[in-house]
Chain A
Amino acid sequence: MKILVPLSKVPDTTAKIAFTNNNTEFDTSNVQFIINPTDEWYALVRAIELVEKNGGSVTVINVGTAENDQFIRKALAIGANDAVRIDAHAKDAFFTASQIADYAKANAYDLVITGKETIDYNGAQIGGMIAEFMDAGYVGLVTRLDIEDGKVSLNREIEGGEEVVEASLPLVVSAQKGMAEQRIPNMRGIMQARTKPLNVIPANGTNSIVNIAAYHLPPAKSGCTYVDAENVGELVRLLHEEAKVI
């Protein structure tokens, strides 16, 4: 079984968000970047577990420039077998998904596992786009993924509960909490990662189809109004009369 895991590079959760160039670009100065948490913790680790159990290989793929190689090496240190970097700026999700889907189709991957969403643009869209480009099934927000004799069994989150779903390969899923536990790379993994293959290939000619015209920060909060613990009736009054939410 061949599993492909797309990785996104995102600002660390605690990064302070600021913009430059008249609020049209994200200011990356002094920002620490990481692999998108759900890509690393759930998608990648579950892919490695499935290969440990059933055999096969895990390839990580990233659309980005050479500065992303350090993040790709980390994924190899955690346990991916090899890596591919499509050498281009990830312009939008449509462009990025097209690159990944072309690679997955050309190299006959059985399963693509993404994280449920990136913590920068929160679109939850790359998996569905890859699936449509591949004409494959897609299940999002998956909390459990098992494979027996080529049949996939999974749980996915729905409003107020879960569904148990059966699917066949090829398949694309987006992974979330519950699917696996985060792994920390060990020294042996880090040493091995240095010699694992990282192939760099050019992008296809797909155009991007959405753009960000401007960013803006949310209006500053006016501060917390404290209500005395002995007088909680005042809170009910404020929520009704001032905030108008009850």
Chain B
Amino acid sequence: MSILVYIDQSNGAAKKASLEASFYGKTLAAAKSTEAIGVYLGEASEDKVGSLGNYGLSKVLHANDSMFNDFDSKAFAKAVAAAAEQVNASDIVVPFNQNGKQLGPRLSVKLNAGYVPGASSLPNDNGQLTKAVFSGKSYADYTVATDKAIIGLSANSIQAEKTDEIAAVEAFSSGVSAEDFATKVLKKEVLEGEIPLTEAERVVSAGRGLKGPENWGMIQDLAKALTAATACSRPVSDIGWRPHHEHVGQTGVTVKPNLYIAVGISGAIQHLAGVNQSKVMVVINNDPEAPFFKAADYGIVGDAFEVIPKLLEEVKAFKQAD
């Protein structure tokens, strides 16, 4: 028996969500007195793959094949299922991110294994996994009725601790061929150098209160000073001030950072649905009646154009002193 962790990668590097999944897998493995093994699909250096041992994997099965550089749910599910058979996995941990959300349900059917999408806890004494339901308005404890389980791990649910351990890297023949791929990626458009919103530990988000896209500079500056990602409310992406992938809320991205700072966002229920799992929420709004204050941990009633530049200076001073 073992715990298998799917390592989601981009351009030859494991995503942050995969490091969290590795550490989660290792913790789960320790509780079950077994080991956590990774499966890495796509070209990468042996050093990089082996460094996943830093997060607790004892071994990584590596299909070092360019065919896997771009994600396809059908082919990847076949490969990961083959890895699960090979290592006799009782649990398969998959990051609950854009690729993982496609892979997890396929594995559930392929392996006849119950799937908990968006789990935010390790199993409790009864083997139950907690996950947010009703768009963050509640939580539910899930039980899996099958021998095997697929755990879709929600981002920022566990703080991955790093060691100097290196994982053994083993070449993996997945049995997958080009014919197993159902899709082909023609083009990728990713903003370089920015922190992906779904992985960010801190998020600075702004709404219509900013009055126009030309005023986003101070939001980006504040985000940079806090090593945070930037986000926005739905109206802002609808008018085209900011790209759609920054839109958080019911019809946009769901985020779960440690710190969510909302500037000039009133806090409609549809917006809260995307952010209410944040650990700490700060609301900055000139309207003291804005409903967002009811959900906030910290609030400043004031004009964003005065508060944000001052806050930026204070954060910079704090970072320098820290």
Contacts and interface: CB of A to CB of B under 8 A. Distances in A.
Interface of A: 11, 13-14, 17, 19, 37-38, 41, 93-94, 97, 119-129, 131-133, 135-141, 143, 156-168, 171, 176-178, 207-218, 221-222, 224-229, 232-233, 235-236, 238-240, 243, 245-246
Contacts of B250: 13, 37, 119
A68 B115 CA distance: 26
A243 B279 CA distance: 9
Contacts of B74: 131-132, 135-138
Nearest to B148: A209
Interface in B64-123: 70, 72-74, 77, 97-99, 101-106, 108-110, 112-118
Given A137-B72, A158-B190, A215-B140, A233 B314 contact: yes
Interface residue SS majority, chain B: mixed
Contacts of A238: 298
Given A137-B182, A160-B245, A122 B133 contact: yes
A44 B135 CA distance: 22
Nearest 3 interchain pairs by C-beta: A137-B182, A229-B302, A128-B105
B157 interface: no
Contacts of B97: 159
B231 to A, nearest CB: 11
A236 B318 contact: yes
A239 B259 contact: yes
A206 B297 CA distance: 46
Contact of A126 (B105, B131, B188, B202): B105
Given A128-B105, A159-B15, A210-B114, A217 B138 contact: yes
Interface string B288-322: 00000111111111110011001100110110000
A120 to B, nearest CB: 6
B186 interface: yes
B171 interface: no
Given A94-B114, A143-B244, A132 B197 contact: no
A158 B296 CA distance: 29
Given A122-B254, A137-B183, A177-B244, 19 more contacts: A13-B250, A41-B251, A119-B250, A127-B105, A128-B73, A136-B182, A138-B106, A140-B73, A161-B190, A161-B191, A162-B188, A163-B185, A177-B252, A217-B139, A226-B300, A227-B298, A227-B300, A236-B314, A243-B298
A246 B318 contact: yes
B126 interface: yes
B264 to A, nearest CB: 14
Given A129-B108, A213-B143, A239-B259, A176 B282 contact: no
A204 B88 CA distance: 30
B115 A125 contact: yes
A162 B245 contact: yes
B269 A13 contact: yes
A241 B184 CA distance: 49
Contacts of B302: 229
A129 B117 CA distance: 12
Of A11, A137, A215, A229, chain B has the most CB atoms within 10 Å of the CB of A229
A231 to B, nearest CB: 9
Contacts of B136: 218
B119 to A, nearest CB: 11
A127 B132 CA distance: 20
B178 interface: no
Contact of B98 (A94, A138, A157, A207): A157
B214 interface: no
A125 B98 contact: no
B115 A165 contact: no
B247 interface: yes
Contact of B307 (A136, A164, A211, A229): A229
A171 to B, nearest CB: 7
Nearest to A161: B190
B116 A210 contact: yes
B283 interface: yes
A209 B140 contact: no
A235 B311 contact: yes
A120 B133 contact: yes
Nearest to B101: A124
B163 interface: no
A213 B142 contact: yes
Given A157-B98, A177-B252, A232-B314, A224 B294 contact: yes
A138 B144 contact: no
A160 B132 contact: no
Contact of B186 (A165, A229, A235): A165
A125 B142 contact: no
B280 interface: yes
A164 to B, nearest CB: 4
A238 B281 CA distance: 12
A125 B105 CA distance: 5
B58 interface: no
B295 A221 contact: yes
Contacts of B317: 233
